[in-house]
Amino acid sequence: METITMNVKGMTCGGCVASVTRVLKAVPGVADVAVTLQPGAATVTYDPAQTAAPALRTAIEDAGYDVVG
């Protein structure tokens, strides 16, 4: 398992946190997700044999948020 933290821009409320959490948990291979509104970050633990950082980034961006860095 690997863990990555991504900076997420565009989240403004608890609903945004829930949306980002939901789309990340739907990615195959994701084991755990922790999203915080401040400072706007998503920490994801995943199986690198099943997914990778670009897929996680795409899931967040497809939900309408931006990944910075």
Q: Looking at domain 2-62, which CATH architecture does it have? A: 2-Layer Sandwich (3.30)
Does position 68 have pLDDT exceeding 90, yes or no? Answer: yes
Q: What is the pLDDT of residue 39?
A: 93
Q: What is the DSSP letter of 32?
A: E
The Cα–Cα gap between 51 and 49 comes to 6
pTM: 0.94
Confidence band, pLDDT 50/70/90 cuts, at residue 42: very high
Q: What is the DSSP letter of 13?
A: S
| Bridge partner list, 32 | 45
Q: What is the domain partition of the chain in residue ranges?
A: 2-62
Dmax (CA) for the chain in angstroms is 33
